[in-house]
Chains A and B, each alone.
Chain A
Amino acid sequence: MPLVDQSLVDSVIKRALASGADFAELYVERKRNQSISVEESKVQRVSSGNDRGAGLRIIHGGVVSYIYTEDLSSDGLLKTAELAAAVGQRGGGRFALGQVTGTPHAPQPVEVPPESVDPEAKIELLLEADQAARDVSGSIRQVAVAYGDSAQEVLVANSEGMHHEDARTRVRLMVHAVAERNGEIQTAMEAPGLQRGFEFFDETSAAAFARAAAERAVMLLDAAPSPAGSMPVVVGNEFGGVLFHEACGHGLEADFVSKGSTVFGGKLGQAVASPIVTAIDDGTMPSRWGTLGVDDEGVPTRRNVLIQDGVLVSYMFDRLRAGQQGHQPTGNGRRQSYQHLPIPRMTNTFISAGAHSVGDIIAATPRGLYAKKLGAGQVDVSSGDFVFAVTEGYLIEGGRIGRAVRGATIVGNGPRALHKIDMVGNDLKLAPGSCGKEGQMVPVSVGQPTIRISELTVGGTGVVRPGAMQV
């Protein structure tokens, strides 16, 4: 069943243009989700939701107006169109939107739609994972496991005659383990997910992820406080890519470039990273968390090389910024829901694989920090300064992995850190994440192989002696 009848879509767009706007676009979304959590080994919060709504965007002389509604009836949508025509602002600017080229990719294949699966089967998975985590050690005090799926259907139609649909089905598991010994508490989490149906769990062992989280929480109980100071940092693969995502990726989003608020503005063609760094944003990767058939403006996604051998070759564009800057849209116009305007966002963003094994990288590092897993982080796009928590870290001593450390953070500056990447591993992996910007959350992948940054500031609670690394 179409989200909205074609003839109604046409009438809505026509009516939205009534006050002379240059462009009108209707985005219709329906999203169903289910979530289940198990805490204290008991099934809690089996819940489900149904979101449905539409957003109407009009552009007039470069000024964007946006009206959204949950009322998808013919009356409701036509009233929304009239409101858009009435409150829509008109600007003196030139109207330019980047041209849409290419054909939409098919949605990612889904063998077993999650909503067709009995909640009983989902619960069974969670209870198994819960038990696996608890079996790891007597020090495990608390385990929380959760399951979530969502199925989103979107329609993008506009006054240029576009009428594209896309469907995105996602399943994810989350495991959070808390270990405690002598009043000391440590936590760890794992959260695998893909754009697949429930068949995801045929290949992914929920119990194995649960065990991994529990083992790490227990291991951290023995970790020493991290030293503080400046040192080489080896950043682990997979979720380590969050560092590039936050510290550089956001700075390559074209809205920040348009506003001159990113350190990467005006640097196309320049060396912005060490020559061993190539970075890519690819919205077409099969089954990945940030993959889209078309973006939320109907633009087919692409594989976009952002940095080639250290040289900045592209920013990430939505249609509006592409038009402003005379570029092609790159399939990065995304929105959290029908309640939001599309803005340039990442999809699946990663640093490409290099030549070295992890063993080589560690062996080549006399001393430093091995930040095997990173947690959350934050970056100031205009200065490029970032901070990240290290959720699994080890000292490197004499080219070997030494004792585990806890409570470390790494602090630095994105552009400077890019130049200081002096080794890139061959173990590229991606991980799902949820990325926030301007109050909008969208699903993305981050990723990288193991990399070494020759110098970063490490913050920790350990004994501090200026100039010397102490444990």
Chain B
Amino acid sequence: MNRVAEYLIDRSRAQGAEEVEVFLSRGTEFTVRAFQAEVESLVAATSRGFGLRTLREHRVGFAYTSESDPPALDALVDEALRNGRYNHPDEANVLPERLPVPELEGLVSPHFESADPQRKIQFALDLERRAIAIDPRVRRVSDAVYSDGSGHVEIYNSRGLEAQFDRTIAYGVVDVIAEQDSEMQSGFAFTHGRDIQSLDLDAAAKEAVENAAGLLGARPVPTASVPVVLHPHAAAMILGLLGGSFSAEAVLKRRSLLAGKVGQAVAAEMVTITDDARLPDGLASRPFDGEGVASQRNELIRSGVLQGYLHNTYTARRTKGQSTGSAVRSYKSVPEVGVSNLVLTPGSISREALLGQVANGLHVSQLHGLNTVNPVSGDFSLGLTGHWIENGQLTRPVRELTVAGNLIEVLKKVVAVASDIRFIFAGGFCGSPTLLIEELPVGGT
């Protein structure tokens, strides 16, 4: 066992803790930003920290620190136990039963460690150069970034748990500016993988340029209620907003839109949603959760019907169920409940075929103001950018437009699901294909 963890567990027990858990994480970061054919900034770092959770008479104590010298560790134990004295006792506060934790392959690239820093720097420079070369209306790149990181997690507890895993992530981000007359529009794209070799620089540059240039000449349109097509990124953002409602913690605290709806139809029949922390390419994949419980694939909505919620050990105990391996945390927090890789299952028709079903409607490429959505009522009224659709084709770009509705209503009004799934970070690592929504009110001029 890790020396620090052993010390913390022994000392906490000696001071009266009945159960103890140590969450330790460390990681590396390497980020390069390019601007005007030069490195703008480079960040390289390693970081680490410890979170200590104690249980005494069913009261949770928690404290964290980034220091590891003996006085800091002693202070950490004192603080966790002191904090625990004030917390409400709850019989559901227990550590998970000790069960075997299966391995999960593919989280670490064998090429990650050996990647040459110069190559990473070149990636950022190339990303900027490539993006500027595509379209004469895009002459400037406001952000061209290469970033990677490795993360290492260890969990130990007084029930004998000793678990650890490593994960690597690399990504490139490009943000470009398209200009025409006095108008400016920005466009963004990203590419991700386990190492630099798995990134697609050209595709990202091209997509960002198309996104920005495609919006030039955008005009407001009149207010109307029309069929709405959500680009996979926009749909994945809606999925991310819904993510919190799958948490049993939110259900217990009456903050979930889906409370009391297990077994009921909460979406159209063609909608199936899963949270899968073992997804092979999922950037949120992990062999076990923030309490050391094995990850699993959780079907949340099957053919429109809500199957259940996501649980950590606490919510499982409170509802007399099983943990779904959904404890999320950093060393700075106690385990809460959250999504990992949240996926809306793709359908069988192509994006083009889906668009072909729309004679007159709106294609939404980006939603703005997602942080304004009320996750408890599900009501939203969001700004958007996108294009008008005429006879299945994207035509003129639109701006200063709002689309309003309710998250559940949107799920219920899905009338077509395409096959073109794409992922973004939106709370969790969220993936969705293009969706056609029967009709939503769109506010314009």
- B66 x A341 contact (CB < 8 A): no
Contacts of A375 in B (CB 8 A): 372
Separation in Å of the B92 CB from the closest CB of chain A? Answer: 12
Q: Is A357 an interface residue (CB 8 A)?
A: no
The reply to whether A45 and B399 contact each other, CB–CB distance below 8 Å, is: no
Closest to A66 in B: B43
Partner of A460 from the list B67, B254, B381, B385 (CB cut-off 8 Å) is B381
Binds A, one of B33-41, B301-309, B412-420: B33-41
B137 at the interface (CB under 8 A from A): no
How many inter-chain residue pairs (CB < 8 Å) link A and B?
Answer: 240
Question: CB-CB contacts of A40-59 with B at 8 A, as 1s and 0s?
Answer: 10111111111111000000
A interface residue count range (under 10 / 10 to 19 / 20 to 34 / 35 or more): 35 or more
Cα distance A359–B275 when bound, in Å? 52
Chain A residue contacts of B35, Cβ below 8 A:
259
A192 at the interface (CB under 8 A from B): no
Given contacts A47-B62, A187-B376, A260-B140, contact A67 B45 (CB under 8 A): yes
Is the Cβ of B334 less than 8 Å from the Cβ of A387?
A: no
Q: Which residue of A lies closest to B444 (CB)?
A: A457
Chain A: minimal CB distance from B234 (Å)? 14
Q: A70-B47, A464-B441 are in contact. Are A377 and B372 (CB under 8 A)?
A: yes
Interface residues of B in 3-47 (CB under 8 A from A): 35, 38-47
Binds A, one of B80-88, B189-197, B291-299: B80-88
CB contacts under 8 Å to A, within B370-386, are: 370-374, 376-377, 379, 381-383, 385
Smallest CB gap from A186: residue in B: B377
- Distance (whole angstroms) from the CB of B362 to the closest CB of chain A: 13
The answer, yes or no, to whether A289 is at the interface (CB within 8 Å) is no
A389 with B83: CB separation less than 8 A: no
In the complex where A51-B66, A411-B383 touch, is A43 in contact with B88 (Cβ < 8 A)? yes
Q: Of residues 196 to 225 in B, which have CB atoms within 8 Å of A's CB atoms?
A: 220, 222-225
User: How far apart are B53's CB and chain A's nearest CB, in angstroms?
Assistant: 9
Q: A89 contacts the other chain (Cβ, under 8 Å)?
A: yes
**Min CB gap B68→A, angstroms:** 8
Pick from B319-327, B350-358, B400-408 the stretch touching chain A.
Answer: B400-408
Contact status A43-B224, CB under 8 Å: no
Query: From DSSP, what is the main secondary structure of chain B's interface residues?
Result: strand
CA distance A385 to B63 in the complex (A): 42
- Which of these, A67, A93, A385, A408, contacts B399 with CB under 8 Å? A385
Knowing A229-B443, A260-B177 touch, does A69 contact B223 (C-beta < 8 A)? no
Residue B121 at the chain A interface, CB threshold 8 Å: yes
| 8 Å CB contact of B84 from A46, A187, A406, A460 | A46
Inter-chain contact A63/B404, CB cutoff 8 Å: no
For the complex, is A178 an interface residue (Cβ under 8 Å from B)?
Answer: yes
B369 within 8 A of A: yes
CA distance A93 to B441 in the complex (A): 52
Report the bound CA distance from A406 to B220 in whole Å. 23
**B332 on the A face (CB < 8 A):** yes
A225-251 vs B: 1/0 string, CB under 8 Å? 010111000000000000000000000
The digit string for A164-201, where 1 denotes a CB below 8 A from any CB of B, is: 00000000000000100000111100000000000000
Of B67, B253, B401, B404, the residue contacting A144 (CB under 8 A) is B253
A388 at the interface (CB under 8 A from B): yes
Q: Tell whether, in the assembled complex, residue B370 and residue A378 are in contact, meaning their CB atoms are under 8 Å apart.
A: yes
Interface string of A431-471 (1 = CB under 8 A from B): 00000000000000000000000000111110011100000
Expressed in whole angstroms, the minimum distance between the Cβ of B369 and any Cβ of chain A is 4
Given A47-B63, A119-B83, decide whether A389 and B381 contact each other with a Cβ distance below 8 A. Answer: yes
Known: A51-B66, A141-B254. A228 touches B72 (CB 8 A): no
Residue of B nearest to A120 (CB): B86
In Å, the complex CA distance between A263 and B370 comes to: 23
Question: Chain A 256-281, CB within 8 Å of chain B: the 1/0 string?
Answer: 10011101000000000000000000
Within 8 Å of chain A (Cβ to Cβ): is B185?
yes
- Is A464 a contact of B86 with CB atoms below 8 Å? no
**What is the number of residues of chain B that contact chain A, defined by CB distance less than 8 Å?**
79
A91 within 8 Å of B (CB atoms): yes
B40→A409 contact, CB < 8 A? no
What residue in chain A is nearest B371 (Cβ atoms)?
A: A376
A119–B404 contact, CB under 8 A? no
Do the beta carbons of B381 and A46 come within 8 Å of each other? no
Interface of A is mostly: strand
In the bound complex, residues from chain A placing their C-beta under 8 Å from that of B373 are 389
Across the interface, do B88 and A42 meet the contact criterion of CB distance under 8 Å? yes
Give A341 to B370 CA distance when docked, in angstroms: 27
A63 touches which of B41, B79, B370, B400 (Cβ 8 Å):
B41
**Nearest-CB distance from B69 to chain A (Å)?**
8
B186 at interface by CB-CB < 8 Å: yes
Q: How far is B399's CA from A457's CA once the two chains are assembled, in angstroms? A: 11
The interface centre, meaning the residue of B86, B222, B403 with most chain A CB atoms within 10 A of its CB, is: B86
Residues of A within 8 A of B445 (CB): 229-230, 457
Partner of A378, one of B62, B142, B185, B369: B369
Cα A88 to Cα B44 in complex, Å, equals 9
B255 close to chain A: CB less than 8 A: yes
Chain B nearest CB from A468 CB (Å) reads 10
Identify the closest chain B residue to A246 (Cβ).
B369
Residues of B with C-beta under 8 A to A382: 142, 177, 184-186
Residues 71-98 of B contacting A (Cβ, < 8 Å): 72, 75-76, 79, 82-84, 86-88, 90
Compute how far the CA of A66 lies from the CA of B39 in the bound complex, rounded to whole angstroms: 12
Known contacts A339-B45, A382-B186; A119 and B369 CB within 8 A of each other: no
Residue of B nearest to A93 (CB): B38
Q: Is B49 an interface residue (CB 8 A)?
A: yes
Q: Which residue of chain A has the shortest Cβ distance to B405 in the bound complex?
A: A461
Indicate whether B280 reaches chain A with its CB closer than 8 angstroms: no
A48 to B333, CA, bound (A): 9
> How many whole Å from B33's CB to the nearest CB in chain A?
9
Q: Does B48 reach chain A (CB closer than 8 Å)?
A: yes
Q: From A230, A261, A412, name the one whose CB has the most chain B CB atoms within 10 angstroms.
A: A261
Given contacts A387-B368, A464-B223, contact A87 B117 (CB under 8 A): yes
| Contact assessment for B83 and A46 in the assembled complex, using a CB-CB cutoff below 8 Å | yes
Please, could you name 26 A-B residue pairs with CB atoms under 8 Å apart, sorted by A?
A46-B86, A47-B64, A47-B83, A49-B63, A64-B42, A65-B43, A65-B44, A70-B66, A83-B44, A87-B44, A88-B42, A119-B83, A142-B255, A178-B376, A228-B402, A229-B223, A229-B445, A383-B185, A385-B400, A388-B372, A411-B383, A457-B401, A457-B443, A459-B443, A461-B379, A464-B443
4 A-B pairs with least C-beta separation: A459-B402, A387-B383, A389-B372, A387-B369
Contacts beyond the supplied A89-B39, A229-B445, A387-B383: 8 A-B pairs with Cβ under 8 Å: A260-B142, A385-B400, A387-B368, A411-B401, A457-B220, A458-B443, A459-B404, A460-B381
Instruction: Using CB atoms and an 8 Å cutoff, list the residues of chain B in contact with chain A.
Output: 35, 38-49, 60-67, 72, 75-76, 79, 82-84, 86-88, 90, 117, 121, 140, 142-143, 177, 183-186, 220, 222-225, 253-255, 332-334, 368-374, 376-377, 379, 381-383, 385, 399-406, 441, 443-445
